[in-house]
Amino acid sequence: MKESNILTHAAGIIAMTAWGLSFIWSTQVYESLNPTTTIFLRLVVATIFFTAILFIFRLNEKIRKEHLALFALAALFEPFLYFICEGYGLKNTSPIIGSAIVAMIPLVTPIAAAIFLKERLTPMNIVGLFVSFFGVVTMLLNKDMVLTASPKGILFLSGAVLVAVGYSIALIKLTKLYKPLTITWMQNIIGMIYFIPLAIVLERLDPSPDIANVRAYIVPLVCLGVFCSAIAYALWAFAYSKLGASKANVYTNLIPVFTAIFSYFIIHESLTPQKIIGIVLVVFGLVLSQLKDLRQARLSREKSTK
């Protein structure tokens, strides 16, 4: 394997590892801070880090005024609405279940694209969706068909999936105008501004349980901002540009797997046979939904080498 290929695949795996850990780091921070304050501070850390990287390496692009409204709309979806839904969802569920539900975003997106963008939905997309959905249900219900997770948490995480799908549709136009790093940088800045009044109000209504104990949450908080909101995205953008959509999306299948492994070792979350079966089904469904795209990518690569 060429060195460039090794670096590309390593970038994808490292990004998925960071995003798998994000569910655990978030859970740790929520012991001291409420989700809204956590997200605001995470965006502050990410924005400072991203700004430094972009300007030090001269990667910054000039933002045109007529595109600010489009950036504002994209940032409303993500990070603002998405992080609210994911944050309060994780506060009411476990990291493993949370990552499994969020992992369904690549499955639901083609359905939304078929409805709003008239893109073709393949049979394997539908089969993969049902298999992964059954995997999530397997994790959420016990043998007596009773929910093992808070309905409130499930509702918020389902909202995160829908918001992320809406964001992916809205993002199409921005990706034609700016580089991924510029888009993320602007979204973090605008999202941080969105969160300022919300964080102040909710901190009064729902005070963080231990905000003064900075030592208890500073490390996972910085990890969320630097590794998950900045470095992971930069690595993912690099891998995405080299591998293309169909091959790169396969890496997202690893997120619930990494979350399950790290949850077991770091926060000692129980990894029951039922959860393992659910994770396998979620990942299997994701792979099924992408088989056709992967096959087409392979055929295109073989033709180009002839």
Condensed to tens digits (0 to 9), the pLDDT of residues 192-212 reads: 999 999 999 999 998 999 999
Q: Is residue 171 part of a domain?
A: yes
| pLDDT surpassing 70 at residue 250 | no
Please give the DSSP secondary-structure letter assigned to residue 103. Answer: T
Residue 254 lies inside a defined structural domain of this protein: no
Q: Which of 21-25, 50-54, 57-61 bottoms out in mean pLDDT, i.e. has the lowest?
A: 57-61
User: What is the total count of domains within the chain?
Assistant: 1
Residue 12 lies in a domain: yes
Query: pLDDT for 15-25, tens place per residue?
Result: 989 999 999 99
Regarding predicted confidence, which is higher, 247 or 139?
139
CA distances from 177 to 70, 86, 214, 243, 284 (A): 11, 28, 40, 21, 35
The mean of the pLDDT values for the chain is: 84
Distance from C-alpha of 168 to C-alpha of 165, rounded to nearest angstrom: 5
Which pLDDT value is given to residue 1? 46
Amino acid identity, position 266: I
Q: What is the pTM of this model?
A: 0.79
Query: Residue 10: its pLDDT value, please?
Result: 87
Both tokens of 227, joined, read: 């590794």
Q: Is 16 contained in some domain?
A: yes
DSSP H or E segment with residue 171:
helix 151-175
In this prediction, residue 303 carries a pLDDT of 61
Confidence of residue 305 (pLDDT cuts 50, 70, 90): low
Cis peptide before 123 (omega within 30 of 0): no
What whole-number percentage of the chain has pLDDT above 70? 89
Is residue 135 a contact partner of residue 279, using CB atoms and an 8 Å limit?
yes
**How large is the average pLDDT for residues 248-257?**
75
pLDDT digits 0-9 by tens, 152-196:
999 999 999 889 887 877 777 787 888 878 888 898 999 999 999
Cβ neighbours of 246 (radius 10 Å): 17
Is the separation of the CB atoms in 95 and 150 below 8 Å?
A: no
Say if 133 falls within a structural domain.
no
Separation in Å, CA 84 to CA 94, 142, 158, 265: 16, 28, 12, 27
Please name the residues in contact with 3: beta carbons below 8 A apart, sequence gap of 6 or more: none
Least confident of 53-67, 124-138, 282-296: 282-296
Instruction: Say which DSSP state 149 is in.
Output: S
Residue 250 lies in a domain: no
* Per-residue model confidence as pLDDT tens digits over 98-128: 888 888 887 787 777 777 767 677 788 788 8
Q: What is the mean pLDDT of residues 47-66?
A: 88
Query: Is residue 142 scored above 70 in pLDDT?
Result: yes
- Domain containing 103: what range? 3-123+149-244
Mean pLDDT confidence for 233-252: 70
CA distances from 32 to 67, 113, 203, 249 (A): 38, 39, 12, 34
Note whether residue 99 is domain-resident.
Answer: yes
Is pLDDT above 80 for 306?
no
**What spatial distance separates the first Cα and last Cα of the chain, rounded to whole Å?**
19
Q: Is residue 60 part of a domain?
A: yes
